[in-house]
Structure 1
Amino acid sequence: MHFSELPLDKSILKAIKETGYDAPTPIQEKCIPLVLENKDIIASAQTGTGKTAAFALPIIEKLIWHQNSKKKGKKIRALIVSPTRELAVQIQDDFKTYAKYTNLRTTVVFGGTSIEPQKDVLKKGVDVLIATPGRLLDLRKQDILSLSHIQTLVLDEADLMLDMGFYDDVNKIVKVCPKNRQVLLFSATMPKKVLQLANVILNNPEKVEVAANSSAAKNVNQLLYYVPRKKKLELCLHLLRNTVKGSILIFRRTKFGVDKLESSLKKNGYNVTSLHGDKSQSARQEALNKFKNNDVNILIATDVAARGIDINSLDAVINFDLPNIPETYVHRIGRTGRAGESGNAYSFCGADEMNYIKTIQQLIQKKIELVEDHPYPMDKNTKAINHKGSGSKSTNTKPGKKKGRKSANSKKNKKRWY
């Protein structure tokens, strides 16, 4: 199919042509007609499938007849809620690209920066708003914006949104939108909590799935290394010296782990930067720009910080820490081997992660190739550590205080980074 076969305005087709795309991706081909028919949608789509255009193009088409409204008379008619600032900015860039030859106004709002400039833009009137949940609700609480004219509500990266604790915020946002609004829910994975949310907020939705969640990237060579946890750094340095070259994305589970690895690699002379939620917005953008512009060739990140970021021409992914959610593994390795190019994924597995490998291999329905010939092998008699009953809860509890329960002051002082 060619884009010209879709019922899109000439101004949109002109903008698409300038991007160099001729044919819609599978997610676009399936979603665009459904959005134009005002259907609610629940779509399973990973980053890199073209899902932003799958909702941006039909939303722009539906709003074109509002484009000549006086600026101050413009109402927010499309709302896209995104879990992270980086993803929100990326969505805003896509909307500006596709609405280039229209008079539609779009803007993006997120926390971590001054609220005043965002207020000024909103007061001038916009058609499309892209927002992170916290800042959106803050602005609404201050009566800076109204959601009473929303025609289409998009929840992007819904699984990540809920993992980050936004379930209540999302429900609040949905409740203040008109009852007859259209809802489009996009999620890389479909855990129970996403399906539960969908059951509550979607009306007779169309289900769209462009690829099975278990399908690992076909062009990615997957390799597995069993290694004692204390030897992971040495193994990483060994691979960087001898095997892994080019543009590399390294995943760690925690912010502390990201900082620690960045420091170690810098001491060993590597050009490296990092991305995680405790960094300021400007620092995160600077890190991303350095990596995209090849000023550094190694980016270390947590899953939350890296989610939704579009990075092209990635040569390799290193899973320094394995994810406890198997779908996250598929999402990570899908960052490389794109657009017909080949890529490599190297996974380090300690004794405490052996059960994770089992569930990952069950999901992708294949055994990951094991590399035994390396300098830091794990003892073959090592048994998997059972995580049942363990977790990140603190064991240093005072008498009378429940384990893992945060104090009221701790909750009060908790910083929001979104």
Structure 2
Amino acid sequence: MKIAIFGLGYVGSTAAGCIASQGHCVIGIDVNPVKVEAINAGRAPVHEPGLDDLISAARKDGRIAAVTELSDELAECDIAIVCVGTPSGVDGAHDMNHVAEVTRTIARHIDPTRHHPLTLVYRSTMRPGSCEKFILPIIEASLGDATGKAVELVYNPEFLREASAIDDYFNPPKIVIGTLQGARSANMAALYDEIDAPIFHVGMREAEITKFVDNSWHAVKVAFANEIGRICQNLDLSARQVHEIFKSDSKLNISATYTRPGGAFGGSCLPKDVRALQYIAADTGSATHLVDALLRSNEAHKHHQFQQATEGLERGAKVLMVGLSFKLETDDLRESPAVDMARKLLEAGYELEIYDPWVEPGNLVGQNLGYTYAWLPAIDGLLVDKARAESRVHDRVIATNRLVDDIAIDASRLVDMSVIP
């Protein structure tokens, strides 16, 4: 099949590389010329392990290309997948401006006399009802009565974790395909034909709420684990041993994923989706006291870890922070707890240096770039290479993830924020 992908961020570029590796022809569309140039040069526009290889191979075989503006590419496409961002708005709801803009662009370029409908797939997280009440009217405004024959509207949430996104694409826990009538989509079945996972063919709204349910549950687990960890730490108990006992019960306690006391949650999904669910709950008059407490608990944990990291440390001390992104093997800094830690350290008057081999300011693009410079404008002067991190004597080394295992530092000065002991 020929597939168009709108938005070449973490989700879109990963989907592009994975789909092209399956033998499909992919055309990527993104307004950012840096991302487009990367794809056309055979490189991934974001850092994701293994993605460079997939895109390079697909580019050499002529199965992937990218453009900044749409022309007649949709005429030959079977599927168009929308992966643009839905960041948090000022009220906590998802900002749908990018979705609206790309939908209008797509609608203008769909031929109403197509012989086969274009399967138009949305993967961006959005409020239940958005496809029917927000997206469909935009399409109908351009295509009118031809909409039903020219477009098959689908909502297909993604379950990709950064740094393991390729494996998650080919080995997902589930596949959810939402359509207006809950009917099976032939093109989507063909797209996932080689992937072994449970498939749920459901209505559009049931599919749309899936990511909210999943991400809020993950946030609940992280917040709960960290609160238990803080209690254990204050009682001088081993949170590590308590967690070992807890996760051994797979019958009642489900799994160990996200339940280890350690760092606060962050990244591009959990915080914004929790905020959006809070907005939806308030808008619909639902009482969600547990969900409402998640972000406050997470912020409390960030402050707790800052206090633990700086205990006994005098103002002006030299501090090395190891790890800036929100998890290993990614350069995504959006809502990273480590960015908050760095900001707090600077505001408290410490002399800060940061080592993270995957973060290069010149490679930051899009929302990642905007968030980083809004919250940590001095990042260019803070990052150091591995040699300087290892050679300079620091009064305190703060490890925000397991990256500390890869460098030689004085362990006596180390405070590990990735796990509560």
Q: Same fold (TM over 0.5)?
A: no
Going by fraction, where is helix more abundant, 1 or 2? 2
TM-score (norm 1): 0.29
Report which structure shows greater RCO (CA 8 Å, sep ≥6): 1
TM-score (norm 2): 0.29
